[in-house]
Structure formats: C-alpha cells, structure tokens
Structure 1
Amino acid sequence: MKTSILALGFATVATGFACAAAAETPVLTVLTYDSFVAEWGPGPAVEKAFEADCACDLRFVAAGDGAALLARVQMEGAASDADVVLGLDTSLTAAARATGLFAPHGQTWANTLPVPFEDADFVPYDWGWFAMVYDKTKVTDVPTSFEALAASDLKIVIQDPRSSTPGLGLLLWVKAAYGDRAKDIWAGLADNIVTVTPGWSEAYGLFTEGEADMVLSYTTSPAYHLIAESDDTKAAAVFDEGHYMQVEVAGKLAATDQPALADRFLAFIGSDAFQSTIATTNWMYPAVTPAGGLPEGFDRFRPAKSLLMSADEAAAARDGALAEWQAALAQ
C-alpha cells in the first residue's frame, strides 16, 4: 500500500514538473496565409529552425490569403492572440498601419530588393513579379500585353482583390500600367475571365487542372514546375508595359505579450536560416539573397520594367481600381 502511495506521489510530482516546464516555454503565435504553412511551404522549415534558436514554441495560425489577414486583425483588434502577422504586402501596409495595431519593428538588417525599401513597421521577407502563367504545350500565341490578352480568346483565372493580395496586386498592376485607361482594359478582359477565386491556391489549382489557359501568379512559378517536378512546360508571359512587384512583409502587433520574442522572430527573418527556405518553398525571391544564391530557373522570365506603387499610393488607388474592376465584371 505504501509503495502504491509513494508511486502515486512521485508520479504527481513528475507531472507537476512537466506541467511547470511546459508552462515556462514561451509561445510565439504568427498569423499567416494558408500556403505558407502548407507541408510544402516555408512554415515547417521556418518553425524547426526558429525553435532550435529560441527555445520556444512557434505556432503558425493560417487565415486564408494575404488580404484576409488584415481583415482578421482588424476584427480581433488588440484582443488578437497573434504576436506577429506575416503575409501582408505593400498594397495593404498603409491600411494596416492606420489601424494602430502594429508596433515599430526596430530591425536594422539590410534587404537586397531591386528597389529601395524601408518601412518602420514592416520588414520584407520575400518579393516577386506578378505574371500570367501558361502551359507552353497549349498556348502558342502568347500575349505580350494586357491589351493583347484582352483581344485574345484565352481564358484566365484570377484572384479576388478583396481577399487576396495577388488579386489586389493585379488591380494595381493594371492601374500602374494604364492609368485612366485601366477601366477600358478591364472591360476588354472581362470575357477572358473564367472565374475569380478567394485566394491563390484555388486559382492555381484550377489552372493545373486544365480549367483555364492562364492564371495570375508569379514569374517564378514556372521555376517550381522545373525544379520540383522536372516539368518545363510552364512559362510566364512577359508584358511590354512592365510587371508589378509584390513585396511581402511581417509586422509585430503592439498588443503582443511576447514583445522580445516577436522582435527575435523579425530579426530571424533577415537571417540565412529563414531566407534560404523561401526560394524553393514559397517560390518567391528572398528579401535577402541567400549565401548559396538562387536556384537555376529563377531568372528565366525577368521583365525589363518593374512597377510598384508606394504604400500610400497603393492605398489611394485601391478603391477606384476596385470599382473599375467590379463595374467591368458586372457587365
């Protein structure tokens, strides 16, 4: 009987120590988009590398596509369980800053973006050029502009700009390239659009399943098929008017209860351990070129001209561009 009581006592003490140890392990919650945390995305490798460095528990919470992240943060406000938001881009940072929910990052590491980029509240983690991706075995008359695409019979899949950062990037791309003529471009493109999906994953899936001739994605998307699948049939149409850039960023929420750990994660983003995972998991250009360089195939469809609005310009253009897009698709 005494043996049983002693065993029970030891077990209770051991359980208590285990619970205390678990309680002492700091948790960092990062709100991000679905594809980042997919088994083939950067999330698993980033989680493993950061946890080895921080002796903490890094937890990713997925919330749809990039634009959905901001909507969730706005809805939850200071009550959000997240400490860091990873997956906004420069089309949304002005609106994100205006919420007052983000804190200055205080990071000093330098990025290697092809355009100057500085932001007191958000650090870049990757970037890329938007592009219309197609299958070379099916599309032989490749358009070299949005005007040529609108004049063709090609069917395209795009993402909803209200929930998707690529979808919003497309609106800004057309606006930056055509200005006041953007509404005419959308009127011409309306009958090319097969469907509009909530996010990138759904759109790209429809394309690979053969439901459309082209899909809004990135100039680096064909590199995925080349490197991961040994498939050289995918290509990106290079447009004469230039290609809009997406710069994806991360920011610390001001209400975080782990400010030091959040800062440590933002510093980790600039490290080779994080940046070396980006090219062949997120299939974007790393914000800091890794020590090992970039994989073969990443520069096969490099445009001659880059287009990018500042965060304030993008915020000012958003509502008008969205209205033009909606009006064209409603006809």
Structure 2
Amino acid sequence: MKYLSIAAGLFAATSAVADTPVLTIYTYDSFVSDWGPGPAVEKAFEETCGCDLKFVGAGDGAALLARVKLEGARTEADIVLGLDTNLTAAARETGLFADHSVTAEYAFPMGWNDAQFVPFDWGVFAFVKNADLDAPTNFRDLGASDLKIVIQDPRSSTPGLGLLMWVKTAYGDEAPAIWEGLADNIVTVTKGWSESYGMFIEGEADMVLSYTTSPAYHLIAEEDASKDAVKFDEGHYMQIEVAGKLANTDQPELADQFLAFMVSDAFQSIIPTTNWMYPAVTPAEGLPKGFETLVVPDKGLLVASDKVQDIREEALAEWLSALTQ
C-alpha cells in the first residue's frame, strides 16, 4: 500500500507540472545571465502568474529577430524581448507579431505609439573608458587619435546597429569619411555586447561601445568609480528596447499578462541595477543612487522606426566598405 501511495503522489506531482502553463521568451544573452534581470524577473512574474516562465538566450538583440524570422510560425517563442526601435519595422514586416493593449506613462523624452511592441527600458549609446583617460569628444577626433576601440557588429547586435545609426544620423553624407577615419582605431568587431565589454575590462582596448549607464554598474555593484562615458559633441543616439507577442503563441493571455507586468513597478524596479539601463517607466522609488552621476547628452538622436531600414542599408554598406579596405 505504501508503494501505491508513493506512485499516486508521483502521478499527482507529474500531472501538476504538466498542467502548469509555460511562457517561453526569447531574449538576449546578457538578460538571462546570473547578473542580468532575467532571474529576478522570472521569480517576480512566477509569483503572480501560476506559470513556468522560460527565458531562452539567443545571442544579441539583432540576432533575436534573425532567429524568429528563420523559425517563422514554427517558433517556440511566445514573446521576443530585446528588439529595439531600429528593428521594430523589420519585425513588423514579418507578420509574426500580434497587437497589444498595454498603456503606461513612459519615462523617455519622446512619446510612444506602437500597437505591437511594448518598451521595457531605454538607454543612450556612448563610448566607455577609464576615467583617467583623456579621450576625444567627437568621432572626427577619435578617428585621428591612436586610441583603440572595440565595437559590435550591426548585423547581430543592437548596440552595433545603434552606432551605425549614430554616425549616419550625425554626419549624413560624410559618414563614409568618419568610418574611414575610425577603421584603424577598431581593434575588433564582436558579435555581441558582452564579448566587447569583456575585452575592454581585460584591457584589450581603450574604449568600448556601450551606454552612458554602464559606469553605474561599476559604481554601484563594484564600488568602483574608475569608469566613465565620453560626452560627444554630435549628440548621442538613443535606444528604446521592446518586447512583442508572437501571433501564433498558444499562451496569448499569459503573454498579455507578461507584457502588462513589464511596465509594472515590480519589473521596472529590477532594470536599473541588473540591465543597467533606464527603466521605461520610472519606479516609485526613483532611480538608484549613483545614476545622478552619469553623463547626460546635450542632444539625443533617434531615427523613426519606419525610416530605419532605408538608412540602415546605406549605412551598413558604408561601414563594410571602410572596414574592408
């Protein structure tokens, strides 16, 4: 009888697991790392949803879209989290994403009006360096210097694509000359952000393409004030990161619940000290101490999402030409 009781208990436990809905979210690798927001977000959402939240790391932001496009309607993802406004038009064209009904009072300077994508954080691209390094404050002077930089590939990385748009937006037809000047400064081009930032930390480059908020990690998490971001005369390109629900999800209500959860205090309060970005909706307690020390650009640059693709193709060709000469 004891063995029958054990078997019955195992059957009940197995049935409970089988009945637990699973929400699968594709995101970028750093989001799901031990030090990223993924673990805390998973714990907080599972406390409210009665579900199993499953994050799947899929490279960097631009690689997410490539994977979903390749998988098409067969994708196991219910949500893709980690695209940005440089990719939303291309994502929309796939026909793979569904509308949402989320509304919020967003913290970034421009409004938000997108039926399919919900913002979860935002940031400003910048070159990060050691604080004692005297660095140029524009792309022309950087190209004329002997400083070594590491950047990310715009074909696989959202920061890499952001840099592409930054140079093109700031310089227009002069962008090819800027890239020609920078070509000798570039130590390497990595597939994603994590690899390049790691190279910078290891001393393999003087500066790395990252965010104005990156020094906050060193200051708050490591009590290290030795890193800062360079304020550029041209202004800085902005990034708004978003998530979208897949149209063929078999968990539409759960996906909607997660998108609404994203703009809640429970999610947004996790972002500043795990993803080291500005939250899309300012948490009730405000930003953590240390964020007030960060560089604030005099000018923010951002291309409307529906204009990005035309600019991107030209800018990518210019970048490739300069770096392959």
Please indicate the TM-score interval, normalised by the length of the shorter structure.
Answer: over 0.9
Spell out the pairing of 1:1-331 with structure 2 (5 A cutoff). 6-137=1-132, 139-140=133-134, 142-299=135-292, 300-331=294-325
Number of aligned positions between the proteins: 324
SS in 1 for 2:270: helix
CA distance in 1, matches of 2:31, 2:248: 23
CA distance in 1, matches of 2:256, 2:99: 10
CA distance in 2, matches of 1:180, 1:309: 16
Please state how far the C-alpha of 1:177 moved relative to its aligned partner. Answer: 0.5
CA distance in 1, matches of 2:131, 2:21: 49
Per-residue displacement from partner, 1:187-227 (whole Å, max 9, x unpaired)?
11000000000000000000000000000000011111111
Per-residue displacement from partner, 1:300-329 (whole Å, max 9, x unpaired)?
200010000011111221111000000000
Please say which structure displays the higher CA radius of gyration.
Answer: 1
Q: Is the deviation greater in 293-302 or in 267-276?
A: 293-302
RMSD of equivalent CA atoms: 0.9
> Contact 1:126–1:286 at 8 Å: present in 2 too?
yes
> Contact 2:84–2:240 at 8 Å: present in 1 too?
yes
Residue identity matched to 1:10: S
TM-score, normalised with respect to structure 2: 0.98
> Contact 1:159–1:200 at 8 Å: present in 2 too?
yes
Per-residue displacement from partner, 1:46-85 (whole Å, max 9, x unpaired)?
0000000111110100001001100100011111111000
**Which structure 2 residue ranges, 5 or more long, are not aligned?**
none
SS in 2 for 1:102: coil
CA distance in 2, matches of 1:165, 1:245: 11
SS in 2 for 1:282: coil
- Identity among equivalent positions (%) equals 68
CA distance in 1, matches of 2:288, 2:103: 27
**Which structure 1 residue ranges, 5 or more long, are not aligned?**
1-5
Residue identity matched to 1:257: D
Please state how far the C-alpha of 1:297 moved relative to its aligned partner. Answer: 2.7
Please state how far the C-alpha of 1:109 moved relative to its aligned partner. Answer: 2.4
CA distance in 1, matches of 2:128, 2:107: 25
Please state how far the C-alpha of 1:113 moved relative to its aligned partner. Answer: 1.3
